[in-house]
Structure 1
Amino acid sequence: EKCRSFQSLIPAEERGVLWLCIGAEVLNILLTLTSAIVLGSRVSYHSSGFHWLKVDASVAILMVLAGTVPLQSGFLLPIFPQHKMGVPAVLMLPLVLLGISGLLFIYQEVSNLWSKSAVQNKVVVITDAISGLGKECARVFHTSGARLVLCGKSWERLQRLHDALISVADPSKQTFTPKLVLLDLSDISCVQDVAKEVLDCYGCVDILINNASMKVKGPAHKISLELDKKIMDANYFGPITLTKALLPNMISRRTGQIVLVNNIQGKLGIPFRTAYAAAKHAALGFFDCLRAEVEEYDVIVSTVSPSFIRSYRVHPGQGNWEDSIWKFFFRRLTYGVHPVDVAEEVMRTVRRKKQEVFLANPIPKAAVYLRTFFPEVFFAVVACGVKEKLNVPEEG
């Protein structure tokens, strides 16, 4: 009876248009989901509350363009007489959305071509190129025609990377043979000499990607000061020493870009990673200050802070105190960022000259905001994940 009374409020000539519009809403959502999958868009329909407003607004706009206007009662009435435009308006909606998806696809392809031309013939220095992320960055920039200078601690692994890049190079595209330089950023005494060697390769540096990183886990009172210093050398003093050595070349040429690949732990502290988090906080602070100092010389400073970079290691086993943190908060394998995604984001950062990028999924992002606006809650949540350690035997 309620349905009949509700339907009686709708004029008979408007009911067909109403049901067609409801169908258009459903079709709009399905097509948007399909286009998001096809275009590789990372759209989350569970976490993006604004998307539904966008869908409703897009339907209203498209209906107006096609010849209908929304009434105050919430129903649709054709602008033109005899409702001749109501059905065509709804039928045009999928075609319009398909056209928009095609335009977005073309835009994405053009952006990819633009990103490759943005670094073509540029001298790009990548530290710790033998790591997972370093290899992906080397691949992305090499295929884009950059003149690479690859730095790493192992000559054999550098040589293997060199051979791999050469073997997969497209003969139809212009690529350059990468230069190899031995560099251990934890050995500060050799960084200055290595910087001179890097400059000798091509005479200048256009883009410096500070990617090197060293990690350590353990209770703060059991980490020696020597290890703390080594972590600071590799993650802080090493990158800033190399940056300071190469920066005058960029300033004199009034061009260049410095990219720091940092970590979420430069934004917030994670238990049992005191030395690593301290170094990441210090590095982020240094490059944030440097950004303002070198802006007048047209030198861009960018920071890319992913959450955990996904690895292929097995997560901690049952009963391990770290397993509770892993499952409870960050879930490295589930919410970690793949090295390929980080490398592509570094490329976009260079192309668009972004200053700061925070590359993470919803949970790490929520943790950063929680730490900023509700610190007491954040501290309590993190502490809950650590309490299990008190009842678990210590590891080596």
Structure 2
Amino acid sequence: MGILTFLILPLILFGISGIVYIYKEIVRLMSKSAVRNKVVVITDAISGLGKECSRVFHAEGSRLVLCGRTWEKLSDLHDALISVADPSVTFTPKLVLLDISDISSVCNAAKEILDCYGCVDVLINNASMKIKGPVQSVTLELDKKIMDANYFGPITVTKAILPNMISRRTGHIVVVNTIQGKLGVPFRAAYAASKHATQGFFDCLRAEVAEFEVAVSIVNPTFIRSYRLQSKPGNWEASIWKFFFRKLAYGVHPVEVAEEVLRTVSRKKQEVFIANPIPKTAVFVRTFFPEVFFCSGGFWG
């Protein structure tokens, strides 16, 4: 009996491993087929996350339209992608200059985006601007600049491209937001406010465009690791919040987020959190037990 048990256990583990492997392969193949030949627009493609999203979608055979503020950096990204690609299964990316924080120029850039292929299947709103500081030290001008980059920019691009999706009754809008769109963090009031506004807008949009078969997804990571925290003695980073929001060293790796964006598009997920259990628990507590979250000596430290 003991020998039989000894033999059965490895077989069970091997069988489970095989099932997991097969499942992952099926998901990978589905993700690949879901974006092949699709027109995918990535804003701020020259950022760390933008580059990884470009790499992932390009490798899967998407027709990329890469947007960024600097033509030189866009050209470098273009060259890097085609240098490692198989031309028989990939398409040469098209490039569009776009400064998401310059609202007056967004509509013209959106028209240029649509002119590339005549349509957009997937729009990935990736551009973002970060800021940290006490509320009283951040000028109203800077507040507006953050709101332009993180809220008005993405919704302006979306509004310009949305009619094309609605008329074709197909499309997918993905927003790379942040967990701070659900949960405010000290010394990031302007940033969190812009992300809360973005969350609210695209939640409403999802409900409005469902009848037109247009999907809306929000991907909420914690900090993306390319963003470096600057530690200063006595500030909030020395408090519970540093532990509260960390994942790995300084957040989620851009590769991890890019791969999740691909899965989100293939499965049409509505909302995704990329975080360890602690930030996820914080969102739950903030939503259902605010008196606990804000209590004296509680989460606010």
Same-fold call, TM cutoff 0.5: yes
TM-score computed with the length of structure 2 as normaliser: 0.94
Among candidates 206, 227, 231, match of residue 316 of structure 1: 231
Tell me the amino acid that sits aligned with residue 164 of structure 1.
A
Instruction: Map 1:238-249 to 2 at 5 A.
Output: 238-249=153-164
Q: Does 1:383 align with 2:286?
A: no
Report the equivalent of 2:271: 356
Shift of 1:99: 1.8
Report the equivalent of 1:153: 69
Q: Distance in 1 between matches of 2:79 and 2:299?
A: 44
Report the equivalent of 1:372: 287
Q: Distance in 2 between matches of 1:102 and 1:382?
A: 43
Shift of 1:363: 1.6
Instruction: Map 1:10-21 to 2 at 5 A.
Output: 20=2
Larger Rg: 1
Alignment check: 8 A CA contact 2:228 2:250 kept: no
Is the alpha carbon distance of 1:331 and 1:238 closer, same or farther for their aligned partners in structure 2, counting shifts above 3 Å?
A: same
Deviates more, 1:191-200 or 1:92-101: 92-101
TM-score computed with the length of structure 1 as normaliser: 0.72
Q: Does 1:303 align with 2:218?
A: yes
Report the equivalent of 2:170: 255
Q: Distance in 1 between matches of 2:99 and 2:111?
A: 15
How big is each residue's C-alpha offset from its partner over 1:156-190, in whole Å with a ceiling of 9 and x where there is no partner?
1111111111112135x510111111111111111
Report the equivalent of 1:165: 81
Report the equivalent of 1:345: 260
Which consecutive segments of 4 or more residues in structure 1 shift more than 4 A? none
Report the equivalent of 2:28: 112
Secondary structure in 2 matching 1:218? coil
Shift of 1:239: 0.5
Instruction: Map 1:192-203 to 2 at 5 A.
Output: 192-203=107-118
Q: How many residues align?
A: 298
Shift of 1:116: 1.1
Alignment check: 8 A CA contact 2:220 2:273 kept: yes
Tell me the amino acid that sits aligned with residue 97 of structure 1.
L
Alignment check: 8 A CA contact 1:262 1:284 kept: yes
Tell me the amino acid that sits aligned with residue 147 of structure 1.
R
Alignment check: 8 A CA contact 1:148 1:177 kept: yes
Q: Does 1:93 align with 2:16?
A: no
Shift of 1:314: 6.0
Q: Distance in 2 between matches of 1:168 and 1:115?
A: 20
Q: Distance in 2 between matches of 1:314 and 1:367?
A: 21
How big is each residue's C-alpha offset from its partner over 1:196-228, in whole Å with a ceiling of 9 and x where there is no partner?
000000000000000110011111111111111
- Larger relative CO (CA 8 A, sep 6+): 1 or 2? 2
Q: Distance in 2 between matches of 1:133 and 1:364?
A: 21
Structure 1: gaps of 5 or more residues: 1-16, 21-86, 385-396
Q: Distance in 1 between matches of 2:40 and 2:61?
A: 10
Q: Distance in 2 between matches of 1:182 and 1:163?
A: 16
Is the alpha carbon distance of 1:296 and 1:170 closer, same or farther for their aligned partners in structure 2, counting shifts above 3 Å?
A: same
Q: Distance in 2 between matches of 1:89 and 1:382?
A: 48
Report the equivalent of 1:62: none
CA RMSD of aligned residues (A): 1.7
Instruction: Map 1:165-184 to 2 at 5 A.
Output: 165-171=81-87, 173-184=88-99
Tell me the amino acid that sits aligned with residue 383 of structure 1.
W
Tell me the amino acid that sits aligned with residue 44 of structure 2.
D
How big is each residue's C-alpha offset from its partner over 1:279-312, in whole Å with a ceiling of 9 and x where there is no partner?
1000100000000110010000111111111127
Name the % identity: 72
How big is each residue's C-alpha offset from its partner over 1:316-336, in whole Å with a ceiling of 9 and x where there is no partner?
15x241431453422365361
Shift of 1:135: 0.6
Report the equivalent of 1:140: 56
Secondary structure in 1 matching 2:112? helix
Secondary structure in 1 matching 2:216? strand
Q: Distance in 1 between matches of 2:248 and 2:158?
A: 32
Q: Distance in 1 between matches of 2:272 and 2:58?
A: 22
Secondary structure in 1 matching 2:249? helix
Q: Does 1:102 align with 2:18?
A: yes
Alignment check: 8 A CA contact 1:265 1:280 kept: yes
Tell me the amino acid that sits aligned with residue 237 of structure 2.
D
How big is each residue's C-alpha offset from its partner over 1:93-113, in whole Å with a ceiling of 9 and x where there is no partner?
321320221122122122212
Structure 2: gaps of 5 or more residues: none
Is the alpha carbon distance of 1:382 and 1:184 closer, same or farther for their aligned partners in structure 2, counting shifts above 3 Å?
A: farther
Alignment check: 8 A CA contact 1:258 1:301 kept: yes
Is the alpha carbon distance of 1:335 and 1:370 closer, same or farther for their aligned partners in structure 2, counting shifts above 3 Å?
A: farther
